[in-house]
């Protein structure tokens, strides 16, 4: 086992103050997933250039892919890179979709400043008990905790579901008070991945269930709400991917207008992963198709990274409203 290191040593921030400011300010903190150097460089560059607070998040799959010790020092490097650019933006290091107490504990002891315990697939009382256990341990180390009520469709590492169930507003007060969580992820119609809705030609995807969100807001006023599955699945990237040999037919995401509406409410953390994956894949495919003799990864990854910077700046500035809020 590697030496225990807590988040304060890495220079990352927990989410408490970020969320307070976001709820009061009517914007949402972006939570971008990362698995490799180029993704993290792009997130830091874009958030520094837009002066946006940011949560960089790591799934169990990312941890397996990149190595937990490597990830810890990458997050530390992200903070140092931002400071060297003359920026004071707060950067939180968050575990996305933690599926056990042991995983959350390992992340807390590895420098994470925030963890999600996703007990949304469990029976209600089991979800409460597991979440409470994680909160007790996390708060001993000043680490903030995100819980989840209601199930999103799609694959979330070990936490998988074929169907979604909306969050029941009548459960939220009890869940928040019994668990002591710092934020709550809810299910109002989003799902993970690039195929969020089945829509016919010319049809619009169904709107998110803002009625459920409003009822939740009335029951726990000012409490930080989290929206997963919030990629917009930008059509230009789908077209580029398909043009250069990919096959992503029928990919659809959440409209930017719906996300703007959510960000202005008590939704104060918006999770985006698939959009970044699509942007990078589109640019790598385009670059390699247009430069068939090129084999230096720096060349095609530079193209992918530049596009990710552009995408994240756009999200912060025109969708989440987090630009200028650091």
By CB under 5 A, which span of 77-85, 224-232, 291-299, 307-315 interacts with Zn ion? 224-232
3-state helix, strand, coil in the chain (%, to 5): 45, 15, 35
Residue 259 CB partners (closer than 8 Å, separation 6+): 227, 230, 232, 270, 319, 320
277 binds Zn ion (CB under 5 A): no
User: Which of Zn ion, ligand G3H, ligand 13P, none has residue 157 at its interface (CB below 5 to 8 Å by kind)?
Assistant: ligand G3H
Of 236, 315, 228, 230, the C-alpha closest to 281 is 236
196 binds ligand G3H (CB under 6 A): no
User: Which of ligand G3H, ligand 13P, Zn ion, none has residue 317 at its interface (CB below 5 to 8 Å by kind)?
Assistant: none
Binder to ligand 13P among 230, 266, 316, 325 (CB under 6 A)? 230
In terms of CB distance, is 37 or 264 closer to ligand G3H? 37
Q: How far apart are CA 199 and CA 19, in angstroms?
A: 34
**29 and 269 Cβ atoms separated by less than 8 Å:** yes
Please tell me which residue in 51, 96, 126, 182 is annotated as part of the active site.
Answer: 96
In terms of CB distance, is 51 or 157 closer to ligand G3H? 157
In terms of CB distance, is 132 or 269 closer to ligand G3H? 269
148 binds ligand G3H (CB under 6 A): no
Q: What is the DSSP letter of 143?
A: -
> Does residue 240 come out as left (phi exceeding 0), alpha (psi in the -120 to 50 range) or beta?
alpha
User: Which of ligand 13P, ligand G3H, Zn ion, none has residue 231 at its interface (CB below 5 to 8 Å by kind)?
Assistant: ligand 13P
Q: How far apart are CA 315 and CA 180, in angstroms?
A: 31
97 binds ligand G3H (CB under 6 A): yes
Q: What is the DSSP letter of 100?
A: S
Minimum CB–partner distance for residue 287 and Zn ion (Å)? 29
CB atoms under 10 Å from CB of 163, counted, come to 8
Minimum CB–partner distance for residue 159 and ligand G3H (Å)? 9
Per the annotation, the verdict on 96 as an active-site residue is yes
92 binds ligand 13P (CB under 6 A): no
Buried b (16+ CB within 10 A) or exposed e, 52-64: bbbbbbbbbbbbe
231 binds ligand 13P (CB under 6 A): yes
Minimum CB–partner distance for residue 33 and ligand 13P (Å)? 6
Kind of pairing between the strands at 154-156 and 159-161:
antiparallel
**Chain contacts with Zn ion (rule: CB under 5 A):** 228
Q: Which residues are catalytic?
A: 96
**Chain contacts with ligand G3H (rule: CB under 6 A):** 33, 59, 61-62, 96-97, 156-157, 192, 273
């Amino acid at each position: 086992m590697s030496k225990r290191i807590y988040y304060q040593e890495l220079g990352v921030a927990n989410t408490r103050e970020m969320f307070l400011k976001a709820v009061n300010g009517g914007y949402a903190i972006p939570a971008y997933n990362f698995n490799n150097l180029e993704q993290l460089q792009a997130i830091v560059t874009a958030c520094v250039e837009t002066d946006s607070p940011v949560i960089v998040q790591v799934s169990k799959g990312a941890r397996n892919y990149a190595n937990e010790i490597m990830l810890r020092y990458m997050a530390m490097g992200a903070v140092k890179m931002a400071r060297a650019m003359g920026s004071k933006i707060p950067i939180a290091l968050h575990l996305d979709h933690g599926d056990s107490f042991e995983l959350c504990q390992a992340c807390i002891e590895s420098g994470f400043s925030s963890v999600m315990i996703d007990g949304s697939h469990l029976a209600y009382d089991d979800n409460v008990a597991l979440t409470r256990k994680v909160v007790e341990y996390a708060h001993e180390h000043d680490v903030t905790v995100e819980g989840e009520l209601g199930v999103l469709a799609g694959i979330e590492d070990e936490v998988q579901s074929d169907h979604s169930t909306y969050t029941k507003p009548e459960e939220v007060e009890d869940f928040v008070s019994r668990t002591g969580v710092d934020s709550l992820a809810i299910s109002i119609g989003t799902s993970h991945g690039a195929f969020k809705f089945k829509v016919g030609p010319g049809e619009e995807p169904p709107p998110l269930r803002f009625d459920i969100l409003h009822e939740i807001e009335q029951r726990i006023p000012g409490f930080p709400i989290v929206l997963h599955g919030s990629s917009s699945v930008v059509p230009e990237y789908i077209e580029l991917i398909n043009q250069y040999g990919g096959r992503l037919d029928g990919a659809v995401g959440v409209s930017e207008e719906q996300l703007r509406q959510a960000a202005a409410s008590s939704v104060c953390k918006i999770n985006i992963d698939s959009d970044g994956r699509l942007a990078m894949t589109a640019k790598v495919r385009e670059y390699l198709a247009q430069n068939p003799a090129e084999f230096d990864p720096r060349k095609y990854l530079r193209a992918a990274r530049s596009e990710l910077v552009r995408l994240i700046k756009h999200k912060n500035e025109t969708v989440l409203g987090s630009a200028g809020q650091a």
